[in-house]
Chain A
Amino acid sequence: MLRAALSLLALPLAGAAEEPTQKPESPGEPPPGLELFRWQWHEVEAPYLVALWILVASLAKIAPRVQAGLLDFLLFGSLISAVDPVAVLAVFEEVHVNETLFIIVFGESLLNDAVTVVLYKVCNSFVEMGSANVQATDYLKGVASLFVVSLGGAAVGLVFAFLLALTTRFTKRVRIIEPLLVFLLAYAAYLTAEMASLSAILAVTMCGLGCKKYVEANISHKSRTTVKYTMKTLASCAETVIFMLLGISAVDSSKWAWDSGLVLGTLIFILFFRALGVVLQTWVLNQFRLVPLDKIDQVVMSYGGLRGAVAFALVILLDRTKVPAKDYFVATTIVVVFFTVIVQGLTIKPLVKWLKVKRSEHHKPTLNQELHEHTFDHILAAVEDVVGHHGYHYWRDRWEQFDKKYLSQLLMRRSAYRIRDQIWDVYYRLNIRDAISFVDQGGHVLSSTGLTLPSMPSRNSVAETSVTNLLRESGSGACLDLQVIDTVRSGRDREDAVMHHLLCGGLYKPRRRYKASCSRHFISEDAQERQDKEVFQQNMKRRLESFKSTKHNICFTKSKPRPRKTGRRKKDGVANAEATNGKHRGLGFQDTAAVILTVESEEEEEESDSSETEKEDDEGIIFVARATSEVLQEGKVSGSLEVCPSPRIIPPSPTCAEKELPWKSGQGDLAVYVSSETTKIVPVDMQTGWNQSISSLESLASPPCNQAPILTCLPPHPRGTEEPQVPLHLPSDPRSSFAFPPSLAKAGRSRSESSADLPQQQELQPLMGHKDHTHLSPGTATSHWCIQFNRGSRL
């Protein structure tokens, strides 16, 4: 071939050598001036044509020579078009797209397993039957099998989820088997689905989805960590093995046969048709979506469709006798998988960055603008929360009601409601410590600047922050200060720069819309949590102070209704504490308006039907739970099974809402104690609020409650009619479960060293009169904490 080419090439040269002599030249005519450009076609005609011919022939060689029928190609198409969850997860972890996008692509890859499996099986059986034997009914059966496979797989998964949740409910005494249960039952779900030729991936997915809430509430903290870490390790291993297999198969050339046309064609078409499909479907979807998917999302969706090991496994499984083109398919699949994972996977991050950056403007913001930008972001986030960003969903509410009433009672350990955990003791201890130091400082609640608790970070305690520190910590996307550093000239500019850095590094970040997706390799805390803690503490402190100030102004006028309320409370007694709490649910939490509203709603609720208030409780809980999910979605890191409790402790609104109380009750108790000294008014309303929090907490079944001990200080205290008679004679009751958000900073750390805390706990016991927390019963009043507190103060 080469020699022929060379000889062919030699010809034109010889021809060209002859040509000049044959060129007709008019004898004696001078050339008409210097020609810059001459068309010399006839000189190159022959070789040109030859080269062209060779080129065309080689291209024709590229054309697919694969002998395969339509059904074979359909089969190949069905397995090559499936997006692979493993690859997608690996890549999207890097890219940090917003949550919606991640859900769309990752969800697609998970759920399309059913479709892939069905299509593959259908096409495979068609191929085996031979195209001549396929009848119309077979097509219908194929479509029906799609539903059977996917729904059946999901059903299997849900059954096992139910089993898992139910069994973990009873593992209190044998904690060690909990991880084992989780793994085995999940694997059993997989095997069962495989056995019934249903979609196994869907089964495992639904098992995880269905059981997460209850299992997390039921199993111990250590089991949770174990499960999470083990899963991550296993996932990592499996993924590595799969891609190693892929690589080895690629090298082993006995398994595949190369066909350039097929490979090139496949690559081009999968990109093109995926983009087409995404655009069309997005257009349809956007008609119904509140928040439309914009161009960037569509690009990410179509570019982020990575093929992976599933396609490879399926193609290897083809029967060579039935599908003679198998080797070509294998080669193509390998190339496609490599291409999508390597090329698309590596380039998607720069692509996204480029697209996003293209949209944002670059201008050096003034201090004002920076500050106000942040303000606006916060405002927007807050108003979105007020509006209820996720809207009202009838079915979701119905589901949550059903879940609360039946499922959670059945599947969650009873004590999960009570939020039993050893962590409580740590919180407990911290509360006391904080309280003591607060008192030591003079205990003036009304002074806003003087309040520094050991567990709360204090502005004044930080000696120095260098610019470099701030820079390192900032990591804010909006910080364009690096430019400023370079161009600092005058002193004023330098000051400006310093301030920019201070602001940039110090400003609280607004709730991130683009939250980090599930990470397979890290379980880590986020700066967002630290920020949340700080903000929460300050907000609560402020609310408490404003409440206190209005209390002084208003309480005397309301002294009359109070005894009536407390009298009623007394009447109800401990046994009906829950009902009472239920009645006061609407009171919510302390507030500047708490006093007034307490009285008002009290009057209303006297006539209200208890069942109705129960319902209100439910609705209230539902609402709160919804807010929880909203808040939970913000600024959360780590994987789907969050082991690190602190992420969830602050934001969840029911616990948050509840937490307001307990935290404030912490302060409130302080206030109680303090007020006894300074003859201030006892915040009765705080306690009514606390009552509500107890009942709401009991019925609240969300996992975050598990992590966040919640103070339910329910003092049905026998109170005098006069407010100034402050001292709290609180009955001693065995129960307490409380959350102390401000101490979360410590809690996060103490989680890992809870055992080490025990000795400290011991030494505080005499002070605290630490009681046995192992037994919680609903509705029993607490104030255990309060009592301790009083005792502590007297010491």
Chain B
Amino acid sequence: MGSRSSHAAVIPDGDSIRRETGFSQASLLRLHHRFRALDRNKKGYLSRMDLQQIGALAVNPLGDRIIESFFPDGQRVDFPGFVRVLAHFRPVEDEDTETQDPKKPEPLNSRRNKLHYAFQLYDLDRDGKISRHEMLQVLRLMVGVQVTEEQLENIADRTVQEADEDGDGAVSFVEFTKSLEKMDVEQKMSIRILK
């Protein structure tokens, strides 16, 4: 609907984005629409404010961190960057894993990359590890106020202890992956409408 303004040709670098992220043409159009709708002033890029205007994110404990994740460098994100982050949430199809060329880089929506995205949400200082402090911060975000600070610290301690194997007091990406091997990450971090 409203397809006059959403022709494929309007999307700059549409083809290269599609190759990189694996989205279908329809999904890409949809995301482009959404990008333009979010970008109120037609600046051509999104700023943090634009994303903060999404009301639902304000009542999401991780809303701010998710917004941050869209801005890996600087204050603005353009459409390819926007799509690149969202590509992590593309559902994993079986054909992806079968026809994977070992030489090609892993697709953005592979399990490893999904986990990496989540890992980065925890690891704010980007040192490759989730320290106890960072874990505590995440817990504070996610837990209601009826849990006291002390209890939170205990939980953070235990969580890190559980996952930490090499005893450095922090959870590295490998340990993080290992602790979640039973979880169906592909399903939990996929949005069906993005194909």
Contact = CB atoms under 8 A, between A and B. Distances in A.
Nearest to B180: A372
Contacts of B33: 392
A593 B56 contact: no
B52 interface: yes
Interface string A684-696: 0000000000000
A508 interface: yes
Interface in A563-615: 585-594, 596-597, 601, 604-605
Contact of B142 (A375, A619, A628): A375
Interface stretch (B10-18, B101-109, B145-153): B145-153
A-side interface size class: 35 or more
A652 interface: yes
Contact of A382 (B62, B143, B146): B62
B68 to A, nearest CB: 10
Given A395-B1, A585-B40, A367 B180 contact: no
Interface in B31-54: 31, 33-34, 37-38, 40-43, 47-54
A660 B52 contact: yes
B59 A536 contact: yes
B49 A535 contact: no
Interface string A364-382: 0011110111111111111
Nearest to B139: A371
Contacts of B183: 369, 372-373, 376
B8 interface: no
Interface residues of B, number: 69
A385 B60 contact: yes
A653 B53 contact: yes
Given A369-B179, A382-B62, A290 B55 contact: no
Contacts of A531: 59, 144
Given A379-B189, A386-B51, A531-B144, A619 B179 contact: no
Nearest to A633: B56
Given A459-B149, A588-B50, A511 B60 contact: yes
Nearest to B114: A376
A128 interface: no
Contacts of A381: 56, 60
A503 B155 CA distance: 8
Contacts of A505: 146-147
Interface in A445-467: 457-460, 462, 464-465
Interface string A660-693: 1000000000000000000000000000000000
A732 to B, nearest CB: 30
A403 interface: no
Contacts of A653: 53-56, 58
A757 interface: no
Contact of A631 (B56, B138, B193): B56
Contact of A387 (B34, B42, B163, B179): B34
Nearest to A616: B40
Interface of A: 290-291, 363, 366-369, 371-389, 391-395, 397, 457-460, 462, 464-465, 469-470, 473, 495-496, 499, 502-503, 505-508, 511, 531-532, 534-536, 538-540, 542-543, 585-594, 596-597, 601, 604-605, 616, 619-620, 623-624, 627-628, 630-631, 634, 650-657, 660
21 contacts: A291-B192, A369-B180, A369-B182, A377-B188, A378-B62, A386-B54, A387-B31, A395-B1, A459-B148, A534-B144, A539-B59, A588-B40, A588-B47, A588-B53, A589-B49, A592-B48, A594-B49, A596-B75, A623-B37, A624-B55, A656-B58
